[in-house]
Amino acid sequence: MQLTTQPTGAPVTAVYWMSHAWLGTHVEPGVLLDVADGRVAGVRTGVGTPPPGATALHGLTVPGLANTHSHAFHRALRSTVQVGSGTFWTWRETMYRTAARLTPDTYYALARATYAEMALAGITAVGEFHYLHHAPDGTPYDDPNAMGEALIAAAAEAGIRITLLDTAYLAAGFGQGPGRHQLRFSDTTADAWAERASLLKGDGELVVIGAAIHSVRAVPAAQLATVAGWAQARAVPLHVHLSEQTAENDACLSAHGRTPTRLLADHGVLGPRTTGIHNTHLTAEDIELLGTSRTGTCMCPTTERDLADGIGPADALRRAGSPLSLGSDSHAVIDLFEEARAMELNERLRTHVRGHWTAAALLRAASADGHAALGRPDAGTLEPGAPADLATVALDSVRTAGPVPRLAAEAAVFAATAADVRHTVVAGRHIVRDGRHTRIDDVPGALASAIAALHG
């Protein structure tokens, strides 16, 4: 038996026995994990059977998954937006109509159910790109952060961590004020956004308060540095939608004579705490700027293909030095295994070559690198001192049965789905047990009820 411990000084509060665990480089059978104060206190290998008092997790246990990019209210669009045809821009009109119906109470109900769906999928932390700040006519609520607080409360009830990326969204486009759709998103200026966002509180463990620039078209160039400076002063994550559509690139070139990436670089937005979302339509110079600045890239393949955005240059970004993470974005599906393999399979379609990322690299994008992008660089590993966040994937489902145990990571990444997640543990607490949420009895019912309230 091998023993690795972390002297926390706190008593062990939970013990989990894992029939197989992914330890970053390989699958290890018979692993015992001690938890104290919500963190991994010890890892023991070579434990053939669960000892008395240990909770058994049968399957492949991996670090809890990180959903780096979410718009919780988009969950209400699933299937509705699959009727007919169109583009990203026509899809956006349906999204606006749904956004206009939300209140703090209905948003809490929808987000609670959506985050519970994430927990069922093995997701232990979410990055919520939040811009529904005010009432539909732009009037602030009595509590100016009522919508953001509803999201924080929803994540707590669903049992997952949240990085609330409070988003500056000030304009409808280059040289334009907010249109009627953007009134509830806009604080009018970056300074007013910063004043409101500063009222939000996080605990650094379950709740991190970060920042976001919706896009270069939604925040005037002269105000980009205000948002970046707010995030830098607090050493918190800063995210931005970047070059998702060629029309955005064309408009930016027309307005500023440079690409969105160059514009962000010129105003001090890029850097190792910054993550570009999508990064789909980039020039060679854009890729170099992102890589040399260590700006991250969050790929959202299921949304990017659903919206016909295109396939981003993920492999070129990786080689340039941009850390890759994954998000479910519009929640066409909530399945980080699907996002991980889609990034690889998209690159195969583009290049006609297989094997750009190993299963290990894709698991890291779905866990450790995602957590780092959300302001938790110590998360995403099964090592002493890390948060005790775990997800266990069944190895005996019709999708995963058959491969030898040493190939369990490949089976999880390239064959499993969210439906194969059997257990989810957050801060040492069992949130999903045997495929059922321990706090919310009927997650499908909660989703159906919350969505019906918006479409009624």
**Positions marked catalytic:** 278, 329
Residue tagged 């698991």 (tokens): 363
> Which residues contact residue 20 at a Cβ distance below 8 angstroms, ignoring those fewer than 6 apart?
27, 28, 29, 31, 59, 60, 61, 395, 405, 408
Give the E-state strand segments of 234-348 in sequence order.
238-242, 274-278, 296-299, 324-326
Burial class (CB in 10 A: 0-12, 13-18, 19+), 90: exposed
Specify the amino acid at residue 332: A
CA-to-CA dists, residue 424 to 122, 123, 212, 313, 427, angstroms: 5, 8, 28, 32, 10
- Residue 32 pairs with which residues in a beta bridge? 17, 44
Residue tagged 């890029």 (tokens): 270
Residue-wise burial string across 141-151, b where 16 or more C-beta atoms lie within 10 A, e elsewhere? eeebbbbbbbb
Degrees, nearest 5: CA angle 412-387-425: 50
3-state DSSP assignment of residue 263: helix
Q: Are 295 and 276 in contact (CB under 8 A)?
A: yes
Residue 418 CA to residue 416 CA, distance in Å, equals 7
Degrees, nearest 5: CA angle 197-166-320: 130
> Which residues contact residue 233 at a Cβ distance below 8 angstroms, ignoring those fewer than 6 apart?
none
- Residue 133 pairs with which residues in a beta bridge? none
> Which residues contact residue 455 at a Cβ distance below 8 angstroms, ignoring those fewer than 6 apart?
76, 80
CA-to-CA dists, residue 213 to 3, 174, 353, angstroms: 45, 14, 35
